[in-house]
Structure 1
């Protein structure tokens, strides 16, 4: 888990880290969006699967935001995870790559994010939603 001495990750930084991680695992990156673009943040594929990943940061990516550089609070974390879940549910429902469709959510590995996710892990597993935990140095999959 991230410690307080480490730089807080924005959503854009998380997108880059996850895309690089997937590339290192042999995925082709089909889409990599920044916070000011609409759509699924990351779409990556191999011969066997196409994964659609929604990413959320631990601080605002906008330098003009009054939250910039500050960690999101519990309610903001819940809201971000809810938005990410809605996006993944839409992908699961439309199944754009047929049975190759996979979904994931990329989150900063913080205490707040883990508290929210830990309560819904059984449901996430049932729906086959992968959680990617991101720190400044690592990407791990739940």
Structure 2
């Protein structure tokens, strides 16, 4: 089970391999956009969510989030991306995205809103322990 911190770590490793410089990589204990990465062409602002709690003291630690929790997490991630879109920094081309664990529960919710995400040019980074796929 991937925590939000695992998602961020796997995503930043992937972006570094793709020649991005990581300007910001936050943990669950920090506030702000989770990952900001830049290359010569664009700046990425990516909000990440995990599939289980990152806190060992939590009742959800090691257990998958339920459907309502997944919806809530995706909603929070979308709010963060909408704030970036609304306040786009000038200069380099700005792109926003959400990094999520590649699970059936996450995919089911994203499929329902995928046309809107595409219209808004919000990238989805599907993260596993071994790979990252971009939609």
Shorter-normalised TM range: over 0.9
CA contact (8 A) 2:48 2:77 kept: yes
How far residue 47 of structure 1 moved from its aligned partner, in angstroms, is: 1.3
Q: How many pairs are equivalent?
A: 135
Provide the residue aligned with 1:80 in structure 2. Answer: 73
Residue in structure 2 matching 1:11, options 1, 4, 13? 4
TM-score after normalising by structure 2: 0.98
TM-score after normalising by structure 1: 0.93
Provide the residue aligned with 1:40 in structure 2. Answer: 33
Provide the residue aligned with 1:50 in structure 2. Answer: 43
Provide the residue aligned with 1:3 in structure 2. Answer: none
Provide the residue aligned with 1:29 in structure 2. Answer: 22
Instruction: Output one character per residue of 1:42-75: Cα deviation in whole Å (capped at 9) or x when no partner.
Output: 0000111000000000000000101100000000
Q: Gaps spanning 5+ residues in structure 2: where?
A: none
Aligned-residue RMSD, C-alpha: 0.8
SS at match of 2:95: strand
